[in-house]
Amino acid sequence: MIARHPSDELPGLVRGELDAQTAASVYGHIDDCESCRSDLEAVRHASDALTAAAELGEEERLAPAAPSAPAAPAAEGRKRRLRLALLVIGLIVLVSVVAGTSGLLRTSKDAGPKAGPATTLDAVGGGSGQGQAKVTGDERRKVVTLDTLDLPAPGAGHYYEVWLARRGQAPAVALGPLATDNQGIWSVPASVAGRYDGQSIEVWLQPDDGGPAPNGKLVLRGVFRDS
């Protein structure tokens, strides 16, 4: 777990740019640090506002121009774009200040998390595809990373979801859905990962019907290895 306050890593954590080991360390530190939790919320709010500002600018750029628009609205449009640019710059500065200023005030040695062995997931029921799951982290939090190969597109109205299950029982802990590239990364408490060590990690093809339990088709399964 990171011993210092991970201020420099917070923007990357919000944007999903950290590798699994670094993300596990950051989450493990934030669990016990109220100050860093507050910093993380500030970075998230700034990032959301920055995204909204960028989308607003894109909408304005794509909006059809009025052929007979008078000069005054055109001037107002330039002013609006200037205000938008200043807003974007201000938000970038805010993210940098939250992460950078705290980093100057807090320094110590970084302790890296441990990585467990990789788990192979095989196709179930004559299907195609395969997967590999890796677990990294420390005594407080684990990060599960799942990569798949040759897994068919889920099709309209369906998605892939990853679960932890006990052998011979229905899945009980949802890690979450796979991304559009059929890859995934999730952070879970170490206590949860420990309870399913030696049990199953499964990929289900789910109908997008809002159901909370796995009610689709099991496509991949492997032995979950926490350590």
pLDDT, tens only, 33-86: 877 877 877 777 676 666 665 565 555 555 555 454 444 555 555 555 555 555
Q: Judge residue 72's burial from the number of C-beta atoms within 10 Å of its C-beta, 0-12 exposed, 13-18 middle, 19 or more buried.
A: exposed
Highest mean pLDDT among 54-58, 77-81, 129-133, 169-173: 129-133
What is the value of pTM for the model shown?
0.53
Residues with Cβ within 8 Å of 150's Cβ and at least 6 positions away in sequence, in order, are: 128, 129, 130
The number of angstroms, rounded, from the C-alpha of 79 to the middle of its chain's C-alpha atoms is: 36
Q: Where are the domains of the chain?
A: 7-105, 114-223
Residue type, 225: R
CA–CA gap between residue 125 and residue 174 (Å, rounded)? 21
The pLDDT of residue 141 is above 80 = yes
Tens-place pLDDT, residues 183-196:
999 999 999 999 99
